[in-house]
Structures are given as structure tokens and as C-alpha cells.
Amino acid sequence: MKETKFWTWHVLTGGVILILLGLHMAIMHMDLILGLFNPAGGRAIEWANVFARSKQAFFIAVYIVLLGTALYHGLYGLRTILFELNLKRGMQTFVNVIFWIGGIGLFITGTYAAIAVKFI
């Protein structure tokens, strides 16, 4: 039952990633049509536009949610693949601990980066 809960979260995070990456694709690759996210005008990847978006609370929240969901989705998927190799119980525990520590470390680092830009 515990694995079913984790798998359900895996599928839900896939849906969230799909929506947020769709938003990313629309903003970054349809910038001529949807220029409203480009306050400095021009291309979406120009530094002035990137900097302006990173100071908006909406985009900071989107970056953090996308980071968390992508980390969970990717690490849980990799964990599932590794566990299908019939690892011994001790190795499974090791993989779990490494993924937890690595995932939390990456999440803290990415969240700090997303928030720190606002104060530049």
C-alpha cells in the first residue's frame, strides 16, 4: 500500500511537470505571440526579460514547484528502476538514503537560487 501512495505521487508530479513545462514552452518559445511575459520587449531569453521574470513571485513559485516535482518524479523513477534489479535490502536502504539526502540538498540549493535572485 505504501508503494501505491508513492506511485500515485509519481504520476501526479508527472501531470504537474506537463503543465509547468507547457507554460515554459509557451513563454520561452512562443515569445513573439505571448510577449506579455517579456516586460523589456524582444526575445524571451534576453537578460532583461529573464531578470524581470525571476523577480516576480509567480515565477519564483513556479520554479520552486517545478524543481520539487521534477526532483521527486526523476528520483522516484530512478529508484524504481534500480529496485527492479533485485537489490539486497541493505542496498535498497542505501539508495533511499542517498536519494533523500541528494534530493533535499538539490531542492534547498535550487530554492535558494530562485529566491536569491529576487534580492539582487
Q: Which domain covers residue 38, as residue numbers? A: 2-119
Instruction: Categorise residue 41: left if φ over 0, alpha if ψ from -120 to 50, beta otherwise.
Output: left
More confident of the two residues 7 and 3? 7
Query: Considering its fold, how many domains does the chain have in total?
Result: 1
Collapsing DSSP states into helix, strand and coil, what is residue 106? helix
Q: How far apart are the first and last CA of the chain?
A: 46
Tens-digit pLDDT profile for residues 25-34: 888 888 777 6
Q: Say which CATH number the domain at 32 has.
A: 1.20.1300.10
pTM of the entire predicted model: 0.86
